[in-house]
Homo-oligomer: A and B are copies of this chain.
Amino acid sequence: MFPAEVYIQRRKRLRELVGSGVILFLGNKDVAMNYAANNYPFRQDSSFLYYFGLDVPGLAGMIDCELGGETIYGSDPTLEDIIWVGNQESLQEKALKAGITLVKPLERLDGDVFRVIAHAREVHYLPPYREQRRLQLAYYDNLKYEEVDRNASEALIRAVATQRSVKDSYEIQEMEETMTRVTGEAYTQAIRQIKPGAFEYQVSGVLEGAALAKHCRMAYPVICSVNGQILHNHYYGNELKKGQMLLIDAGAESTRRYATDITRTYPVGGKFTGQQAEIYKIVLEAQLEAIKAIKPGKPYFEVHKLASTVIARGLKELGLMKGDVDDAVNHGAHALFFPHGIGHMIGLDVHDMEDIGEDYIGYDLDFKRSDQFGTAYLRMAKRLQEGNVVTVEPGIYFIEPLIEKWHSEGRYRDFIDYKAVRKYSGFGGIRIEDNIVVTDKGHQVIGKPIAKELTEVESIVGK
């Protein structure tokens, strides 16, 4: 946990921002894998962690905006429990570390919530993402299960988005340290495994094991694939063959549950082919240019557009695209090769605060979400602020079903040379990603640099 004062100040600000009523944070519970006693590793709710810091299952936190009261609900192990789980810090002691003195048994929560409702005071809650929490909220609100999400508090969502979007020095330090000591080191170990004849799972297993051996889990399921063009891909069963590329998208979660999120693309056998090297250079240029553009006040949408333009220009030089580059990007033709956004905020979640609603996090009155294929998937468009931490992750992919679809529909024939594209059949995909903090004057890449220059990458693979 951070010092108690950090949580005290966050909650004080939250009370001011929400203004009235009572705020209810339901912490996460354990989730059964295959029977009730065999649980997945516990993951606390991120907003609960942000305001209370307590990383144990089965807690709730209540904050009274008007009266100022702050309560943690939970249970202490009984004497019987202690025989099996050992001596534990009491909930009272834990809560004190978050600056909270009032602790009540979890059984008191329902009554306290109903008392607030009986006084016709509003109970603010965030939209749930697990059934267990949705069920509990439905019970309080006397709502149909389906209505719970809709009744989430917009005032609370906006307040949480405001606070969590700007990272303080503790949070940035935490991400820096985890990136260098854990994620970077895990990549170093994994890269050594990339050899013809190895399997994807050998590389991803070593990467994940290296993080575990530093007491960290992964922030999200690893992508480690010779099919980098398949964007939602958690299959690890392929054998690596010389001439292929291996795309790895992985990041450790810090001990305080902050995410890191890195992507690199490596040549199996240690040498990119001519075709691969040409595309690699374009992606890297797009990434470096996009990073360079990051500063307070800059719309993230423009960073996305800049990367898209670098990509379209590069592909035009290779003969894959044609016509006016700006026109092509404005019309969305580049999205055949770069069909996702340039990145997203990152913090306690890898897609930070995605649970409370992407449009609250990445869009505002000035920036509405595009409905154009590709740009529509941009998770954030609004102006960057000092303290934002974002990913920058352009890519170029040859997605056969997408190419076939567009080709058969005759889409963007003025901007895409489908005959030239055909020569890249089986190419796969390349993505390069880093995490960037917006500083007062510009930006800083988080963590000790992880090799991404072409020759540097070639020199370390499989060694």
A residues in contact (CB < 8 Å) with B: 31-41, 43, 45-46, 79, 82-87, 129-132, 135, 145, 193, 199, 201-202, 204-206, 208-215, 220-221, 227, 230-233, 236-237, 339, 348-351, 354-355, 399, 401-402, 405
Contact = CB atoms under 8 A, between A and B. Distances in A.
Contacts of A237: 215
B213 A401 contact: no
Contacts of A199: 215
Given A32-B129, A230-B84, A212 B204 contact: yes
Nearest to A255: B237
Among A132, A193, A339, the most chain B Cβ lie within 10 Å of the Cβ of: A132
Copies held by the complex: 2
Contacts of A233: 85-86
A209 B211 CA distance: 9
A52 to B, nearest CB: 15
Given A209-B212, A231-B84, A233-B86, A351 B37 contact: yes
Contacts of A46: 34
B401 A79 contact: yes
Contact of A201 (B83, B85, B208, B214): B214
Nearest to A49: B34
A35 B349 contact: yes
Nearest to A339: B83
Given A129-B32, A351-B35, A402-B83, A209 B201 contact: no
Nearest to A46: B34
B399 A83 contact: yes
Given A38-B351, A202-B213, A205-B211, 7 more contacts: A34-B349, A38-B349, A83-B399, A205-B209, A208-B208, A209-B210, A209-B212
Nearest to A130: B32
A38 B213 contact: no
Contacts of A213: 193, 201-202, 205-206, 209
Q: Which one of A34, A43, A231, A351 has the highest number of Cβ atoms from chain B below 10 Å of its Cβ?
A: A34
Contact of A227 (B38, B86, B214): B86
A203 to B, nearest CB: 8
Contact of A131 (B131, B201, B202): B131
A139 to B, nearest CB: 9
A36 B399 contact: no
A208 B217 CA distance: 11
List of 10 A-B pairs having minimum Cβ-Cβ separation, nearest first:
A209-B209, A205-B213, A205-B212, A35-B355, A86-B230, A131-B131, A201-B215, A35-B354, A33-B43, A84-B232
A205 B201 contact: no
A192 to B, nearest CB: 12
A31 B209 CA distance: 23
Contacts of A230: 84-86
Contact of A34 (B201, B215, B355): B355
A220 B38 contact: yes
8 contacts: A31-B130, A35-B349, A38-B350, A83-B399, A86-B227, A130-B131, A202-B213, A204-B212
Given A202-B213, A215-B236, A34 B38 contact: no
A33 to B, nearest CB: 4
Contacts of A205: 209-215
Contacts of A201: 212-215
